[in-house]
Chain A
Amino acid sequence: MSDTTRPAIEMAGVRKRFGATEALRGLDLTVPAGTVCGLLGPNGAGKTTAVRVLATLVAPDSGTARVAGHDVVRAAEDVRRAIGLAGQHAAVDEGITGRDNLRLLGRLHRLGTRRARERADELLARFGLAEAADRLVRTYSGGMRRRLDLIASLVTSPPVLFLDEPTTGLDPRSRQEIWDTVKELADGGTTVLLTTQYLEEADRLADDIVVVDHGAAIATGPPDRLKAAIGSQVSVTLADAGQLAATAVVLSAMTGGDAQVDIAERTVTVLTVPGVSVLLPALVRELDGAGVVARDVAVRAPSLDDVFLSLTGGSARGDGGDSEQGDAAGSAGAVGRAA
């Protein structure tokens, strides 16, 4: 059976081809038990395929994958008993109530009729769906559906949870609710593999991020290390164009990067060199010290686009995707501002 010392999820050299498309080209992945791993990549990178391999839905062409110590091909049934899956779409039955959705899943998990009902009630209450429990799912909002879909994967409290783009297409509040739930599960010891197109999401939730592109991992590490390796963008907008030169000197000194001066916009921009992090208060102090009056100071954390630019020199955006690419670019990292 599963043993706690070995990683909860292991993939080694996994390849999977669909006709002419090679969705996975030797993906390696290790997720220690009790941690959250963020699989980060653009549309078409192979994230869903990786999750489907791990959830025993597709067999890899080559390579090995183990979940909770069980091989996904040879011991698929044991893997299935250890996992919960919330896929890219809200996989809930719209024609019945939320409560019935969970009860039916509980019965399929062989909890017994009574225990299945109790478990459904527990989950609905805990995740704020008690009031909507007896409404048909087709009357739910998008956020509620996603939440129901998420808790549908928790019916057995599985030790390993797969979440495929759990917040794509959600409004900020629903996104926050999903994030809170994932954090709560992780705190309880559940191993979570979540895929996302948002660096911010992986940053908030994951202990480790694996950046995937074209079916292989191109970078792995804790979010901070990854971000530090990329650098962030610092920009200062001035009231007085006469101070542009002085500002450029300060920024270059602080970041080690080459300052770009935009005279028309009265803005100085610089990308920090990897390893240097610039904190907003320190920046404001330095500018003050140089007598610069800034109208706007911003430190922008790297976005997924920056990650890809930095890791691949800009040629790495997925070619297999069909949509939603603008989305990832739109959700830039946290922006700090001071006036």
Chain B
Amino acid sequence: MATVVLAAPRPSTVGRLVADTWTSMLRVLLNYRHSPGLLAASLGVPVVMVVVFGYVFGSAMRVPGGGDYREFLMPGLFAMVATNGVMPTMVGAARDVGRGVTDRLRSMPVSRTGLLLGQTLADLLVSVVVLALLALVGLAAGWRARHGLADTAGAFALLLLFRFVMTWAGTLLGLAVGKEEAAGQLSVAVFPLAMITNAYVPTGGMPGWLRLVADWNPISSVVQACRELFGNPSAPGSAWPMQHATLAALLWSAALLALCVPLAVRKFATHGR
């Protein structure tokens, strides 16, 4: 066999970033295509959440200051979908490390940032579909976006931004953990973080210290911002992030991205050193 190096001459950094981002995206999307179960689970979860929270718990819920509980709930469920972005990326990154896929990719002349960016962008595409489905289910359950197109688009943009943030957080955690099972176990820890928020119940009834945690939880900022942008009922506390929810959500997202992206890229580039 001839030992001709087939690889093309060294391309520009930007060209390589774009090409590798695209290829990496393709890999994640192909995985989704061959795992109907995974897609069905992503799509099924929002429906189940609307039924369980909206109708089972919701039958006993009262929103302070009035308003329909299901309308109160929907922004919370949207934010949950965004938050859950941490899980598939975390498990996927850990699996790649554990199976040696990460090592193979790192031994190749590829853009490391592009590989990770592709994975997070692919997840973003999937979450667009999931959010759209959840919105349809919400509409059927009586939820409405009442503030016009611009605010509605703004709310969804914020949700996608937050999902993007969470997939980078998941990538970082997955690379750090490095084992698929351990990443699966860590996913369970996401649950309490997601529960100590204003997503399902107003924080007003919580004990003081818990309320403080909930009001400053980044997820709560996203939920409150969406409630305001959609014109849905809300019962914000007096904490600063609740009074300036959109700004707080943007600041949280920017801060988390500024932290997670460089750390994840560095972890990926120097894994095992």
Contacts and interface: CB of A to CB of B under 8 A. Distances in A.
A188 B100 contact: no
Interface string B97-112: 0111101111111100
Given A95-B34, A96-B31, A52 B272 contact: yes
Given A55-B107, A93-B27, A100-B30, A109 B100 contact: no
A143 B244 CA distance: 59
B103 A85 contact: yes
A93 B7 contact: no
A188 B109 contact: no
Contact of A111 (B8, B35, B108, B271): B8
Interface residues of A, number: 48
B109 A80 contact: yes
B103 A81 contact: no
Contact of B23 (A87, A95, A104, A188): A104
Contact of A108 (B2, B100, B105, B272): B105
A159 B4 CA distance: 7
A21 to B, nearest CB: 13
A104 B2 contact: no
Interface in B1-56: 1-8, 10-11, 16, 19-20, 23, 26-27, 30-31, 34-35
B5 A157 contact: yes
A144 to B, nearest CB: 15
Interface residues of B, number: 35
A107 B109 CA distance: 11
A96 B6 CA distance: 24
Interface string B63-101: 000000000000000000000000000000000001111
Q: For B5, B10, B104, B105, which residue has the most chain A Cβ atoms within 10 angstroms?
A: B104
Nearest to B8: A110
A298 interface: no
A96 B103 contact: no
Nearest to A59: B273
Given A57-B272, A81-B10, A152-B104, 12 more contacts: A55-B103, A82-B5, A91-B101, A92-B101, A95-B34, A96-B34, A104-B23, A108-B110, A111-B7, A157-B2, A157-B4, A159-B5
Interface of A: 52, 55-59, 77, 80-83, 85, 87-97, 100, 104-105, 107-112, 115, 119, 136, 152-153, 155-159, 184-185, 187-190
